[in-house]
Structure 1
Amino acid sequence: MNFDDTPQEAEFRAKARAWIDANAPKQYEDELRKSSLGRLQLTGANVLEVAKEWQKKKADAGWAVPHWPKEYGGRGSSPIERVIWQQEEGVYGKLTRLFIIGQGMCGPTMMAYASEDQKRHYLPPLASGEKIWCQLFSEPAGGSDVAGLRTRAEKDGDDWIINGQKIWTSGAHYSDYGILITRTDPTLPKHKGLTMFFLDMKSKGVEVKPIKQANGNSDFNEVYFTDVRIPDRQRLGAVNDGWNVSLTTLMNERMSIGASLATGFPEIFEFAGSLMLDDGPAIDDRAVRSKLASWAVRESGLKYTAFRSISALSKGQRPGPENSIGKLVAGSMIQDIATYALELQGAAGVLSGPDEAESAGKFQAMLLRSPATRVEGGTDEILRNIIAERVLGLPGDIRVDKDVPFNQIPTKGR
């Protein structure tokens, strides 16, 4: 690939840069620049409110989700222009992460399966940040197996009645809508008999319970459904074809998370340049430099692997299984970097208060949040299987329950 801007791309970049320079919330730039995975706080301001205000300002000027069609709240930009926008948005893009599930996963699924009227009604406010969406997939009994879900949807006239539980749902506590995968026919094998819907998170019978995490935040939630009524017009795809619908969501999820996930490398590189060890600056230590070099190579590999996916998108192709590579590498990388940073800090590594030195607390918060990155969007083990089977073409695992009706699969206590 040629990574130099074409004249048209250079013009687009200049236009994006000028708009951002004139409209970005620069009063938060310093704090955004210093924030890391696991700690995004703004002094005297609510992060969600600031993010919504920035997203709405972008939407009013046509910059909200540049690559979406104009009729759905986008700009009709090319995949390459999308990358240019993300590069120019820089640190302010951290505010956009609050909308990544809706815009990166739910939106593409709605575009593929919702009716035209529904797309024109629901997508523009999703793009503008006025309405936030979540993804209701994982369940306590399913573990990493999305197809092992037990949330039931039973037909009742023109409606469906939903009962069950989801878990680890990011942002459910502040979401307005969600896409929901359910089991509609337990007599079919587990990957069949599934059906996808979208629903209002304020529907009667929906209960959201935030989960307290090790880092003190509550980004994830348990969501309970008790006789929740969803009209059939909010079904996405055919009845019992929910697995194929979910693949659209999952492929976009891996691309969105893998392409935008922080690695911690910029933070550790800057930190090593300012930290003093017993025998001098950390950056002069051979062992430290070796670590930094290794991570620099991985960071570069992630960048250009993401560009390969973008190139495929520019040709009209659907995001593929290779996007699992980015998420797998970045997830473990940020955990390793945070751990190493604490080792370099020594006794200072126990400090995490906001009144401590600037670096104290950054890597602690990063480390406490990092295990979640290795679970959300597919565990390391699931991603390795996807890469092995669908990228490298290796033989698949033996799956003894593959063609067994779901209600005949043995479970504990049965």
Structure 2
Amino acid sequence: MDFHFTPEEQAFRQELRGWLKENVPPDWEGVFLEEEEKEWQQGRAFVKKLSQKGWVAPAWPKEYGGMEASPALQLVYNEEMGYHRAPIGSIIQAVGIVGPAILFFGSEEQKKQHLPPVTAGERVWSQGFSEPEAGSDLASLKMRAVKDGDDYVINGDKIWTSNAHRSEWCALLARTDPTAPKHRGISFLLVDMKTPGITVQPIINMANMHSFNQVFFEDVRVPKSALLGEENQGWYITAMTLDYERSSLVAAGVSMAKRYLDDLVHYCKETKVNGGNLLDNPMVRHKLAEIAIEIEVGKYMVYRVVSLQARMEPGSIEAAVCKLYNTEMNVRLTNTGIEVLGLYGQLQKDSKWSQLMGRFQKSYLYAIAMVVGGGTSEIQRNIIAMRGLGLPRG
């Protein structure tokens, strides 16, 4: 496997890096999701600028506003976006999950309707997958979509729906055949959030922020044209999109981890303790070295997945390994940051005593959430054991 980037890819990295240094807000401290109103507005303005460069969804076809970028060029993009902590939370669902699903399974009409508004920076999507009794065991979902003439009538609720309170559209899973095996009776629907019967209830997370929601659907009527792909094909579509999500988010996450480590190393070099700097402490050096090694391992795991994508080879097992390792590595990274910063590491960014803008305090909480999001570590281990190693179900 060749780990070198082509001259074209290196040139794109330099162009994108320079642009990000100029356009990411100088006071930006967001972590994927822009919860505060100021952060949200900053993020939306940033995405609009990004769209003017044609960089919202580089891998998408040019006719829908993309660059038709190769997997390697998309990797470069994800790495730079992650390292610079770019405020792209408003398009993660659209670009990482919904867009690929529409590209692979949508009709030409659906592609023309939904993809250009995303690359223009004008449409926000949410994802309606999890339910109160269907999280890790997603196929146990109970939301129903019943045919009624030329429509589907949807009833049920979704939970942990990021940005539902701000999204214009929601991509959701609903059961269309209750008599079929649970994985085969599910359909994928594209729903306008302005449709009557939808109620969004906020969920305040442990960081005291609002990004998650519970969304209730009561006799929500959508046209049959809202169906993506074939009826009862929803599980297959979802499996594909989650593999795509894991690889793209993890690539950005590894680069973001590298940025956090660089910030922490700089802090240790500049912070004086007992007549020397913090980096003179061998325990601190060892902890930072361990994390540096883990980040490097995580990076090459991502490269392995991208290499498989470039050759159009299956990579769901490798994507699961990548997601499992790197999200748990991020927990260890942020925990190390909290330990090195000591009591200062527990302070939020608005405290006058906070260090590094309080980013380790916030990132530690989000790192735990990322272990769960996109499939828990337990789910990833089951995938690796059963599909990768051929072990029986435990």
2:62 paired residue among 70, 79, 83: 70
2:225 paired residue among 227, 233, 239: 233
> Match for residue 3 of structure 1?
3
Deviation at 1:197?
A: 0.7
> Match for residue 373 of structure 1?
370
SS at match of 1:327: helix
- The 5 Å alignment of 1:11-410 reads 11-13=11-13, 16=16, 20=19, 24-25=22-23, 28-29=25-26, 31-32=27-28, 35=29, 37=31, 46-88=38-80, 94-261=86-253, 262-263=256-257, 264-278=260-274, 280-317=276-313, 320-354=316-350, 355-359=352-356, 361-391=358-388, 393-398=389-394
Change in 2 beyond 3 A, CA 1:322/1:68 = same
CA contact (8 A) 1:331 1:374 kept: yes
* CA–CA distance in structure 2, aligned partners of residues 165 and 131 of structure 1: 23
* CA–CA distance in structure 2, aligned partners of residues 364 and 39 of structure 1: 15
CA contact (8 A) 2:134 2:141 kept: yes
Once the two structures are overlaid, the 10-residue window that deviates more, 197-206 or 264-273, is 264-273
* CA–CA distance in structure 1, aligned partners of residues 335 and 356 of structure 2: 14
* CA–CA distance in structure 2, aligned partners of residues 295 and 70 of structure 1: 39
* CA–CA distance in structure 2, aligned partners of residues 259 and 133 of structure 1: 21
CA contact (8 A) 2:33 2:89 kept: no
SS at match of 1:57: helix
Instruction: Note the alpha carbon deviations across 1:348-390, whole angstroms, 9 max, x for none.
Output: 3443251334336322222222221111111111111112222
Deviation at 1:270?
A: 3.2
Change in 2 beyond 3 A, CA 1:165/1:260 = same
* CA–CA distance in structure 1, aligned partners of residues 361 and 14 of structure 2: 38
> Match for residue 409 of structure 1?
none
Once the two structures are overlaid, the 10-residue window that deviates more, 188-197 or 8-17, is 8-17
CA contact (8 A) 1:349 1:360 kept: no
Tell me which amino acid in the other structure corresponds to 2:118: L
SS at match of 2:222: strand
Once the two structures are overlaid, the 10-residue window that deviates more, 282-291 or 256-265, is 256-265
TM-score of the superposed pair, with normalisation by structure 2: 0.90
Tell me which amino acid in the other structure corresponds to 2:53: A
* CA–CA distance in structure 2, aligned partners of residues 89 and 141 of structure 1: 34
CA contact (8 A) 1:153 1:160 kept: yes
CA contact (8 A) 2:345 2:354 kept: no
Change in 2 beyond 3 A, CA 1:41/1:381 = closer
TM-score of the superposed pair, with normalisation by structure 1: 0.86
Once the two structures are overlaid, the 10-residue window that deviates more, 303-312 or 55-64, is 55-64
SS at match of 1:307: helix
- Alignment gaps of 5+ in structure 2: none
SS at match of 2:367: helix
Deviation at 1:151?
A: 0.6
CA contact (8 A) 2:75 2:251 kept: no
* CA–CA distance in structure 1, aligned partners of residues 336 and 10 of structure 2: 39
- Equivalent pairs counted in the alignment come to 389
CA contact (8 A) 1:71 1:120 kept: no
CA contact (8 A) 2:32 2:88 kept: no
* CA–CA distance in structure 2, aligned partners of residues 41 and 381 of structure 1: 28
CA contact (8 A) 1:162 1:226 kept: yes
Superposition RMSD in Å: 2.6
Large movers: runs of 4+ above 6 Å: 38-42
* CA–CA distance in structure 1, aligned partners of residues 305 and 109 of structure 2: 30
* CA–CA distance in structure 2, aligned partners of residues 90 and 374 of structure 1: 17
CA contact (8 A) 1:184 1:194 kept: yes
- Alignment gaps of 5+ in structure 1: 399-414
> Match for residue 412 of structure 1?
none
* CA–CA distance in structure 2, aligned partners of residues 38 and 69 of structure 1: 25
SS at match of 1:75: coil
Change in 2 beyond 3 A, CA 1:245/1:258 = same
CA contact (8 A) 1:36 1:366 kept: no
Change in 2 beyond 3 A, CA 1:53/1:394 = same
